[in-house]
Structure 1
Amino acid sequence: MVTSAYILIKTASGFEKKILSTLKEFGSIENADLVYGLYDIILKVSINSSEELDSFIFDVLRPMEGIVETMTCIIAPEK
Protein backbone atom coordinates (compact mmCIF):
# COMPACT_ATOMS: atom_id res chain seq x y z
CA MET A 1 0.00 0.00 0.00
CA VAL A 2 1.36 3.40 -0.97
CA THR A 3 1.97 5.83 1.87
CA SER A 4 1.54 9.52 1.07
CA ALA A 5 2.72 12.31 3.32
CA TYR A 6 3.50 15.98 3.51
CA ILE A 7 6.95 16.73 4.90
CA LEU A 8 7.66 20.23 6.17
CA ILE A 9 11.33 21.19 6.20
CA LYS A 10 13.10 23.99 8.04
CA THR A 11 16.47 24.89 6.53
CA ALA A 12 19.45 26.93 7.60
CA SER A 13 19.45 30.36 6.01
CA GLY A 14 20.67 30.31 2.42
CA PHE A 15 20.17 26.56 1.86
CA GLU A 16 16.53 26.68 0.71
CA LYS A 17 17.00 26.71 -3.07
CA LYS A 18 19.91 24.23 -3.07
CA ILE A 19 17.95 21.71 -0.98
CA LEU A 20 14.79 22.20 -3.07
CA SER A 21 16.75 21.57 -6.28
CA THR A 22 18.27 18.39 -4.85
CA LEU A 23 14.94 17.07 -3.57
CA LYS A 24 13.18 17.58 -6.92
CA GLU A 25 15.42 14.83 -8.35
CA PHE A 26 13.82 12.11 -6.16
CA GLY A 27 11.13 10.08 -7.93
CA SER A 28 9.08 9.55 -4.77
CA ILE A 29 8.49 13.31 -4.40
CA GLU A 30 5.24 14.35 -6.10
CA ASN A 31 5.60 18.04 -5.33
CA ALA A 32 8.19 20.30 -3.69
CA ASP A 33 7.67 23.99 -2.99
CA LEU A 34 9.40 26.85 -1.20
CA VAL A 35 7.02 28.47 1.30
CA TYR A 36 6.99 31.38 3.74
CA GLY A 37 6.45 30.84 7.46
CA LEU A 38 7.84 28.52 10.10
CA TYR A 39 9.01 26.02 7.47
CA ASP A 40 10.88 26.73 4.25
CA ILE A 41 9.99 23.75 2.02
CA ILE A 42 6.93 21.52 1.79
CA LEU A 43 7.14 18.14 0.06
CA LYS A 44 4.38 15.76 -0.93
CA VAL A 45 5.76 12.23 -1.15
CA SER A 46 4.31 8.88 -2.17
CA ILE A 47 6.29 5.91 -0.92
CA ASN A 48 5.59 2.17 -1.03
CA SER A 49 5.70 1.51 2.72
CA SER A 50 6.17 3.11 6.12
CA GLU A 51 9.63 1.52 6.26
CA GLU A 52 10.63 3.32 3.05
CA LEU A 53 9.22 6.56 4.46
CA ASP A 54 11.33 6.06 7.60
CA SER A 55 14.41 5.45 5.47
CA PHE A 56 13.75 8.53 3.32
CA ILE A 57 13.36 10.75 6.39
CA PHE A 58 16.16 9.36 8.58
CA ASP A 59 18.71 8.33 5.93
CA VAL A 60 18.14 10.93 3.18
CA LEU A 61 16.48 14.09 4.49
CA ARG A 62 17.78 14.62 8.00
CA PRO A 63 21.48 14.04 7.20
CA MET A 64 21.29 16.56 4.30
CA GLU A 65 23.46 19.62 4.88
CA GLY A 66 21.31 22.64 5.71
CA ILE A 67 18.23 20.78 6.96
CA VAL A 68 17.51 21.89 10.51
CA GLU A 69 14.12 20.29 11.23
CA THR A 70 11.45 18.15 9.60
CA MET A 71 7.81 17.47 10.42
CA THR A 72 5.96 14.64 8.68
CA CYS A 73 2.18 14.59 8.24
CA ILE A 74 1.00 11.21 6.92
CA ILE A 75 -2.11 11.57 4.78
CA ALA A 76 -5.11 9.67 6.16
CA PRO A 77 -6.85 7.29 3.75
CA GLU A 78 -10.22 8.43 2.45
CA LYS A 79 -13.15 6.23 3.36
Structure 2
Amino acid sequence: MAAKAFVLIETVGGRNKEVVTALKQIEGVKSADTVTGPYDVIATIEGETLDDIGDLVTAKIHPIAGIYRVMMASVVLGV
Protein backbone atom coordinates (compact mmCIF):
# COMPACT_ATOMS: atom_id res chain seq x y z
CA MET A 1 0.00 0.00 0.00
CA ALA A 2 1.25 3.45 -0.87
CA ALA A 3 1.93 6.01 1.85
CA LYS A 4 -0.44 8.97 2.02
CA ALA A 5 -0.35 12.40 3.64
CA PHE A 6 -2.25 15.65 3.78
CA VAL A 7 -0.26 18.81 3.21
CA LEU A 8 -1.68 21.88 4.96
CA ILE A 9 -0.49 25.08 3.33
CA GLU A 10 -0.56 28.75 4.24
CA THR A 11 -0.08 31.00 1.22
CA VAL A 12 1.15 34.53 0.78
CA GLY A 13 -1.83 36.90 0.38
CA GLY A 14 -4.09 36.05 -2.53
CA ARG A 15 -1.93 33.40 -4.21
CA ASN A 16 -4.12 30.38 -3.47
CA LYS A 17 -5.15 29.81 -7.09
CA GLU A 18 -1.61 29.75 -8.49
CA VAL A 19 -0.42 27.49 -5.65
CA VAL A 20 -3.25 25.01 -6.34
CA THR A 21 -2.46 25.11 -10.08
CA ALA A 22 1.22 24.39 -9.41
CA LEU A 23 0.43 21.58 -6.96
CA LYS A 24 -1.85 19.82 -9.45
CA GLN A 25 1.05 19.58 -11.93
CA ILE A 26 3.25 17.60 -9.51
CA GLU A 27 3.33 13.81 -9.82
CA GLY A 28 2.18 12.32 -6.53
CA VAL A 29 -0.29 15.10 -5.73
CA LYS A 30 -3.71 13.46 -5.88
CA SER A 31 -5.76 16.57 -5.05
CA ALA A 32 -5.28 20.20 -4.10
CA ASP A 33 -8.08 22.46 -2.91
CA THR A 34 -8.52 25.96 -1.52
CA VAL A 35 -10.18 25.77 1.90
CA THR A 36 -11.37 28.02 4.71
CA GLY A 37 -9.87 28.03 8.19
CA PRO A 38 -6.30 28.38 9.44
CA TYR A 39 -4.86 26.95 6.21
CA ASP A 40 -5.45 28.22 2.68
CA VAL A 41 -4.82 25.04 0.67
CA ILE A 42 -4.93 21.33 1.50
CA ALA A 43 -3.29 18.80 -0.81
CA THR A 44 -3.47 15.02 -0.67
CA ILE A 45 -0.25 13.33 -1.73
CA GLU A 46 0.85 9.72 -2.15
CA GLY A 47 4.20 8.02 -2.52
CA GLU A 48 5.74 4.58 -2.12
CA THR A 49 7.00 5.41 1.40
CA LEU A 50 6.75 8.24 3.92
CA ASP A 51 10.35 9.09 3.04
CA ASP A 52 9.29 9.54 -0.60
CA ILE A 53 6.48 11.82 0.53
CA GLY A 54 8.88 13.85 2.68
CA ASP A 55 11.24 14.21 -0.28
CA LEU A 56 8.34 15.33 -2.49
CA VAL A 57 7.27 17.98 0.01
CA THR A 58 10.83 19.25 0.46
CA ALA A 59 11.90 19.21 -3.19
CA LYS A 60 8.71 20.06 -5.08
CA ILE A 61 6.16 21.68 -2.77
CA HIS A 62 8.20 23.96 -0.48
CA PRO A 63 9.77 25.83 -3.44
CA ILE A 64 6.42 26.78 -5.03
CA ALA A 65 6.11 30.57 -5.25
CA GLY A 66 3.38 31.87 -2.98
CA ILE A 67 3.74 29.27 -0.23
CA TYR A 68 4.42 30.75 3.20
CA ARG A 69 4.26 27.70 5.49
CA VAL A 70 3.70 23.96 5.07
CA MET A 71 2.61 21.33 7.58
CA MET A 72 2.33 17.65 6.72
CA ALA A 73 0.00 15.14 8.39
CA SER A 74 0.83 11.53 7.50
CA VAL A 75 -1.99 9.02 7.32
CA VAL A 76 -1.27 6.18 9.75
CA LEU A 77 -4.46 4.20 9.24
CA GLY A 78 -6.71 4.63 6.24
CA VAL A 79 -10.17 3.10 6.15
Q: What TM-score results when the alignment is normalised by the length of structure 1?
A: 0.88
Which residue of the partner structure matches residue 8 of structure 2?
A: 8
Q: Which runs of 5+ in 1 are unaligned?
A: none
Which aligned segments of 4 or more residues in structure 1 are displaced greater than 6 angstroms? Answer: none
Matched, 1:43 2:51: no
Alignment of 1:12-31 (within 5 A): 12-31=12-31
Deviation at 1:51, TM superposition (A): 2.0
Deviations 1:17-48 (A, max 9, x none): 00101111223112211001111000111111
Deviation at 1:78, TM superposition (A): 4.7
Number of residue equivalences: 79
CA distance in 1, matches of 2:60, 2:11: 14
Does the 8 Å contact 2:7/2:72 carry over to 1? Answer: yes
Does the 8 Å contact 2:22/2:64 carry over to 1? Answer: no
CA distance in 1, matches of 2:77, 2:37: 27
The two structures, once aligned, show a CA RMSD in angstroms of 1.6
Identity %: 25
CA distance in 2, matches of 1:41, 1:75: 18
Q: What TM-score results when the alignment is normalised by the length of structure 2?
A: 0.88
Q: Which runs of 5+ in 2 are unaligned?
A: none
